[in-house]
Amino acid sequence: MDAVVVYASQFGNTRQIAEAIGRGLGPDARVLEADGFSPAQLSPGSLLVVGSPIVGWKPLEGLGVWLDGLVPGVLDGVRTAAFDTRVKLFIHGDAAKKIEQALEKAGAERAADPTWYYVAGSEGPLLDGEIERAEAWGRELAAA
Ligand SMILES: Cc1cc2nc3c(=O)[nH]c(=O)nc-3n(C[C@H](O)[C@H](O)[C@H](O)COP(=O)(O)O)c2cc1C
C-alpha cells in the first residue's frame, strides 16, 4: 500500500508525531513536509495522513495554503486521515477536523476519525506516551 504522511510543524512536535505514524504504517511509508508534496502523485487506494499544529484555532498557515490548493477530485479514491497537535490546557479550536473537511472536499474517503496529540506548551515537549500512541495509530491505519 502506498502510504504518505504529510505535515507542517513550527517547533518540531508535529514532525515527531508524523514520523511516529510513519513508523507505524510500515517501512515503505513516506513522511514529508506538505510544502512541495503534490497529491496528484497519489493513486486511488493510497493512504494519505495529514497533520498540523493548531495555531489560532486552525491549521498552521502553510498547511492551510496547501489545503486550499487541493483541486476538487484530486483525492478521488484516496483514503485519508487527519491529526493535529495542541496544548493540553488551551481552549483548543480544531485543526484536524478542518483538515479532514478540506480532504473530503477534494474527493478523499475517510479512513479514520480525526485525532490529536498533546504538547505540554506551545513549543512542546510532547506529553509522555504520545509518540507511542501515534505509532499505534499508524499500525491501525495500515491494518484497516
Ligand atoms: C501563535 C500560536 C497559536 C496557538 N494557538 C493554539 C490554539 O488555538 N489551540 C491550541 O490548542 N494550541 C494552540 N497553540 C499551541 C500549538 O498547537 C503548539 O505550539 C503546537 O502543537 C506545537 O507543534 P509544532 O511543534 O509542530 O509546531 C498555539 C501556538 C502558537 C505558537
Give 25-35 pLDDT, tens digit per residue. 999 999 999 98
Query: Is residue 92 over pLDDT 80?
Result: no
Q: Which atom of ligand 1 is nearest to the CA of 17?
A: 26
Residue type, 42: L
Q: Which CATH superfamily is domain 3-143 in?
A: Flavodoxin domain (3.40.50.360)
Taking the centre of ligand 1 as the mean of its atom positions, its distance from the CA of residue 55, in whole angstroms, is 5
C-alpha distances out from residue 95 to 53, 84, 144, Å: 7, 6, 23
Q: What angle do the packed helices 130-143 and 13-25 form, to 10 degrees?
A: 40
C-alpha cell at 42: 497519489
Tell me which residue has its CA closest to atom 27 in ligand 1: 10
Average pLDDT on 10-15 reads: 98
Query: Is residue 103 over pLDDT 90?
Result: yes
